[in-house]
Structure 1
Amino acid sequence: MKAILLSLAFFAVFIGAASAANIVIMTVEDPNNYESPRTMREFAEKELKPLGHKVTIVEGDKPQMHHFAGLIEALKDADLLVLFSRRRFPPKEEMAAIKAHLAAGKPLLGIRTANHAFLPKPNEVVDASLAPWPEFTHEVLGGENTGYETKGLPYSVSVPAGIKTPLLEGVNVAEIRGYQSMYKVLPLAADATPILIGTAQEGASTPPQPVAWTRTYGPSKARVFYTSLGAPEDMRSADVRRLLLNAVVWTLQK
């Protein structure tokens, strides 16, 4: 009982450490972006705002494709950028604001399609006024974008041996399943720390892949958390939502 009370007390302090942050969520409505505007709105209303966070959701393709109206202004005093967007190339001024956020040492939380947020398709022609960032996946997130595994779904999730982190406080990892494709992200950057591993069921050819990890980026050591979970089925899981809430707290710590 004493151990349980201590754990609950630690968790309360951990969650409380990031109250009243200014969080910007960058997302886009896209048939292949897993209903992210809806799930991010629900996450903001049910999980973030009750803790005192100010949340601004910037939805892309408004007024036209690749544009994220309001992003530059929103990022000026943002404490955290949450990225859940795919294959969008903001105008140069908007991309500059994203890079300035990171250069200042401010954190990033990437969800699922952030893995290819600014990555053009092979041979895709991009307008000169737009700014793709194909190196983002490797340089910032610290992973790769080499396809996905769909056989034997859903895949199981486990914790790597020896990993103990407050990011998993209150998370029953045994209850997490990946119900959509498992992203192939290996190899990770040398300074990335995997905290969750996905394993496809028997018959699949893909080896286990990290599905959540942490690292820092750039000289200012901006904290970065990424998870390839985030499909609508994942977001219905209380344990996945708790993981994301823990990630918000972790990224906001200095």
Structure 2
Amino acid sequence: MNRFRRHAILLLMTVWIAGWQCSFAQEPIKPSANQKQLPLVVMLIAEREYQTEKTLPQFAAEHLDDDYRVKFVYADDDDPNRLIGIEAVVDADVLLVSVRRRTLPTEQLDLIRSYVADGKPVVGIRTASHAFSLRNQDPPDGYDAWPSFDQDVFGGNYSNHYSNDIKAVISASTLKAGDNQSDSSMIGEQLSSLNRHQEPFVSGGSLYQVVPLLSGSTVLLSGKIEGHPSEPVAWTFQRKDGGRSFYTSLGHVDDFRGESLPKWLHAAIDWAVAN
């Protein structure tokens, strides 16, 4: 009888401890006051070419976690033109766009339009130059396009790209005021320093054709293919709404494996939020 009682007591204690641990594990972890004060970077990820659904979270974990809060907004698996959790854009301090040819529900695209119109900073990589429009096709009913997003937000002029088999050499551009270049003092010391110390490297992806850029742009990196004119690869842009943007056509998975793109992207986010 005593032996049975001991087993019963042990069983009850085990059940109680397990229940207590389960309750403890489900207790929500509240962000600290310091974490709440960190700037919020919202990353829109909706493309199938460059695996940024993997490379951007890894980049954020390695380079942003100490200084920023980061939220990821992905395309709906059942409807690739709908972004799940896009409401986070309302509270974003920096919006990073990695989207390729998606026409969003009108109310979702309006959130992005409103964010930009408020003069808030935008960072774009690779396919962000053709993020919200289809090629020679109208959006379906209830969905909307923004064909001029590249010009309006990045001052860009994406038209095509060179063959994937031809690799471009990327190097620093000479900062100057004039033509399509804005005052180089507007880009800040961190981006200026990267520009001064950048060594040439080979891009992982094809070279985008983006000239001419709009007035208000400052080209930081250029790409060159032998026998062809150079193309801007990274630049800042002072928008008409008062906001500022950074764009780079880098973003291939091999670019993230290299040293240059993570440095530039980190510096661009710092520059964007510093205003």
Scaled by the length of structure 1, what TM-score is found?
A: 0.84
1:35 & 1:21 partners in 2: Cα distance?
25
Identity %: 30
Q: Quick one: higher RCO (CA 8 Å, sep 6+), 1 or 2?
A: 1
1:212-227 equivalence runs, <5 A: 212-219=234-241, 221-227=242-248
1:164-203 equivalence runs, <5 A: 166-170=190-194, 172-200=197-225, 202=226
Q: Does residue 142 in structure 1 map to residue 160 in structure 2?
A: no
Q: Which residue is equivalent to 2:62?
A: 46
2:238 & 2:123 partners in 1: Cα distance?
11
1:76 & 1:151 partners in 2: Cα distance?
37
Q: 3-state DSSP class of the match of 1:127?
A: coil
**Contact preservation (8 Å) 1:153, 1:179:** no
**Contact preservation (8 Å) 1:170, 1:239:** no
**Equivalent residue in structure 2 for 1:58, among 73, 97, 100:** 73
**Contact preservation (8 Å) 2:175, 2:218:** no
1:67 & 1:216 partners in 2: Cα distance?
29
**Contact preservation (8 Å) 1:28, 1:60:** yes
Q: CA RMSD in A?
A: 1.9
Q: Which residue is equivalent to 1:5?
A: none
Gaps of 5+ in 2: 1-36, 177-183
Q: Which residue is equivalent to 2:145?
A: 132
Q: Quick one: which amino acid aligns to residue 246 of structure 1?
A: A
1:62 & 1:104 partners in 2: Cα distance?
30
2:115 & 2:192 partners in 1: Cα distance?
27
2:58 & 2:267 partners in 1: Cα distance?
17
**Contact preservation (8 Å) 2:175, 2:219:** no
| Bigger helix share | 2
Instruction: Give the total of aligned pairs.
Output: 227
Q: 3-state DSSP class of the match of 1:27?
A: strand
Could you give the per-residue CA deviations for residues 108-166 of structure 1, whole angstroms, max 9, x where no partner exists?
000000010012111x2321211110011112111112111127732111222245652
**Contact preservation (8 Å) 1:89, 1:132:** yes
Q: Quick one: which amino acid aligns to residue 154 of structure 1?
A: K
**Equivalent residue in structure 2 for 1:26, among 40, 44, 57:** 44
1:162 & 1:68 partners in 2: Cα distance?
37
Q: Which residue is equivalent to 2:83?
A: 68
- How far residue 246 of structure 1 moved from its aligned partner, in angstroms, is 0.3
- How far residue 170 of structure 1 moved from its aligned partner, in angstroms, is 5.0
- How far residue 52 of structure 1 moved from its aligned partner, in angstroms, is 2.7
Q: 3-state DSSP class of the match of 1:40?
A: helix
- How far residue 45 of structure 1 moved from its aligned partner, in angstroms, is 1.1
2:164 & 2:110 partners in 1: Cα distance?
39
Could you give the per-residue CA deviations for residues 43-88 of structure 1, whole angstroms, max 9, x where no partner exists?
1111111x2311000011344120001102x012110100001000
**Equivalent residue in structure 2 for 1:161, among 166, 171, 174:** 174
Q: Quick one: which amino acid aligns to residue 92 of structure 2?
A: A
Q: Which residue is equivalent to 2:261?
A: 240
CA spacing shift, 1:151–1:37, aligned 2, 3 Å: closer
Could you give the per-residue CA deviations for residues 154-193 of structure 1, whole angstroms, max 9, x where no partner exists?
2111222245652153575225321211000000001111
**Equivalent residue in structure 2 for 1:211, among 233, 236, 250:** 233
**Equivalent residue in structure 1 for 2:53, among 27, 34, 37:** 37
Scaled by the length of structure 2, what TM-score is found?
A: 0.77
Q: 3-state DSSP class of the match of 2:42?
A: strand
Greater radius of gyration (CA): 2
**Contact preservation (8 Å) 1:175, 1:239:** no
2:193 & 2:103 partners in 1: Cα distance?
36
Q: 3-state DSSP class of the match of 1:213?
A: strand
**Contact preservation (8 Å) 1:169, 1:246:** no
1:108 & 1:21 partners in 2: Cα distance?
14
Q: 3-state DSSP class of the match of 1:240?
A: helix
